[in-house]
């Protein structure tokens, strides 16, 4: 859940921050879609991003209703930054755009799968995918 174009450097805003949680922010999202979402306490759903061509999982980010609306209607992947508390269009500063090919909602409405044409690296570190750190699977059954 990185903010690849602007690495999260700050801590989340204080509770007195005037930015409303996702469920309270204005949104133009289609009401029928909005009704299917099951949001976190701060009004977000997880967005899993994969490369349309290779199927590779690139990153995970967050969307509120309006970010999903913008993603569906502009064709440019748009997220909600939890650290900066603002919308960000992937690639706006890095040039590493994500052109949206399809979006699917999961069975219980709290996760999205966004298939994109990824320009350049998805990860702000320069890696193609954010998932470049392998953890050791030590089970005797591991194959």
Binding residues (CB under 8 A) for a second copy: these are 1-2, 7-8, 33, 36, 40-41, 46, 48, 50, 54-57, 59-60, 68, 72-76, 99-108, 110-113, 117, 123-125, 127, 130-143
Residue 111: both structure tokens together: 């996760």
Give the up-direction half-sphere exposure of residue 37: CA atoms within 13 A in the CB hemisphere. Answer: 26
Question: What minimum distance in Å lies between the beta carbon of 56 and a second copy?
Answer: 7
Question: What minimum distance in Å lies between the beta carbon of 58 and a second copy?
Answer: 10
Question: What minimum distance in Å lies between the beta carbon of 26 and a second copy?
Answer: 19
- Strands 111-118, 98-105: pairing kind: antiparallel
* CB distance 29 to 66 below 8 Å: yes
């Amino acid at each position: 859940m990185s903010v690849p174009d602007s690495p999260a450097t700050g801590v989340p805003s204080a509770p007195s921050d005037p930015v409303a949680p996702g469920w309270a922010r204005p949104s133009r999202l289609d009401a029928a879609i909005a009704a299917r979402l099951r949001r976190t306490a701060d009004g977000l759903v997880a967005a899993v991003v994969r490369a349309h061509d290779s199927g590779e999982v690139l990153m995970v980010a967050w969307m509120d209703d309006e970010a999903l609306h913008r993603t569906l209607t502009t064709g440019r992947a748009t997220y909600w930054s939890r650290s900066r508390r603002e919308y960000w269009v992937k690639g706006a500063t890095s040039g590493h755009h994500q052109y949206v090919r399809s979006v699917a909602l999961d069975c219980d409405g709290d996760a999205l799968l966004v298939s994109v044409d990824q320009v350049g690296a998805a990860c702000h570190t320069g890696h193609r995918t954010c998932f470049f750190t392998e953890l050791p699977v030590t089970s005797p059954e591991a194959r």
